[in-house]
Structure 1
């Protein structure tokens, strides 16, 4: 929607500016055109500011995306660690449950033994309570002989010892089973607590993982938006430069016509006729030159001069891996000539300078309008190495700048473009 609005706005501006020449001359003055040129200059400045801001926003978003991606990797490692701990604790809980089940079985068995002993001890106690301790003496006194007395004494001793053993084992069984069950219950409670803590950590890390993935998606949208805005502003700058070129041509024509009218008014009648004849001849000559220039631009026989003489081509027209950003499949819109810092750059053909300033990734750049819908662009010029300004009329082969390495550049060279009606084309057939 944003691109569509921009295209509509550009078409409306172009429709307003590119009116028929005769109607324009009648309705507008040089002052009007200069005012519109100032407006276009302000719009171009605003577009460059937006373009630079979009580039800055993209770098910032890429920075934070990289930081967030690194943090996400750390979170994912922590998630894996917690999952491993949860698995270990789950096994521990399973083993503890099995131990508790075994302890419960042992406790049941011990309790059966205890119950059995309690029955036996109860019988003994009841017997002692009924008969009293004298019953042991009666057993001894009723011996038929001394040997029978000794046998009975040994038997009574065994009964007493057995009762004591029953009491000791009874107590020991109870203590052992209760102690083991308490220990296992404590272990199980600790494992459950640790498992709950790990589950809590896992939930926190999962939330962080989702948050970081959401941030990365947001930064991707910001990067895409910045790229779209940069492209929009570049299209706007091209449209504004084209409109400015048209206004400059109309201004020059109005100035020339006004000068001719002033001279004609001051000249004598006789000289006016001669001046008119001379002007007609000059106009015819100029028309022939312009016609020939336009014709030469539309051919394929290489009408343009090499801007830096003989030079090696370090990168041709077409898709490539961007040497600065590393972006694969990036369209290279011109030809790079490998020349040293400060090499003289010449205009490939006569024309009017429509841009001579910093131009986004091109760095310091110059654009020359040759008429007939053809422009040439010279990019990555050195700082302080631009010899022309907007509105200058340059001839073919005239030095306009010096090569450098400004903007998105890996080293000194000249980036040269040919544009036909605003579209970038392969410069090679034109050189």
Structure 2
């Protein structure tokens, strides 16, 4: 969008310059100090405009780079979100597994407790059996029974007696021990798994914390990038506004130059385009060149040039006179628009090149320099009338270099 705005500024300025005709080749060069000064000002403004344009291009490159950086950060944030979601799901899954292992361990502990309770019952029964009602109903411990034997034979008999019921519970005790061992092994395995899960959970938690910190860093980086973008966009907008002002200034200077050129070039074309011409007598009071009378009023402007030098129409118009006029000699009068009329006098014999009623164009050859009529030498007597009244031609003709 900013590049389009810059192009629009350049195109608008160029269009104004071309449409105003400032790049068209003039009929003759116009030199003026004020014109040169305006041209210098325009060049300075163009240099400033070029500098602004270069600065804007650099800003735009930075903005584009930040947009690419922003896109990369968004991609990284998206990837982090995915990783965090995966991590959360894995942590949740492992938490379920931990709970399952904890419940399983509790179940195994309950099972072991039940077996221990059962074994306790077995031992209680055994102890009951080992306490013998020995004489007079008094219970004697297993050791006292053995120690109270009368001899080896009696000792053996007593052992056989005591071990008869114990052997009956031996199988149940062995089964209990085997089952308890299996349960204990499962419990240890579950505890090992639980420890591994705890370690894994700790690792996953650290990963989650790292991902969360990365997410915060990227979000901070994104916010900084967006701030930098906005700052550069504001700067670019400011540069664009200044460029528009410069473009307006350039357009204004071109307009000023055009108006000055019009003023310097005159409303009417110079009637004797030859380089050898010169103004020999201006409009206004003077000494009469024929009789020397002082204060004679000269109604036109005399432009001296060699005989046969081309005379051109000062503006578009219609020829209303093309003949000899007393005092003027051979003369041409052209009627123009807006009440203007021009007279061209002292044309050489045979030098009139137009006829009455003929349409002529500005700059078109209409006659040739001569010295017919009341004249002291070869020159063009040029008069300008506005609404029938004589006016100073110098105010409407281009300024001579």
**Structure-1-length-normalised TM-score:** 0.45
Give the structure with the larger helix fraction. Answer: 1
Larger radius of gyration: 2
**Structure-2-length-normalised TM-score:** 0.48
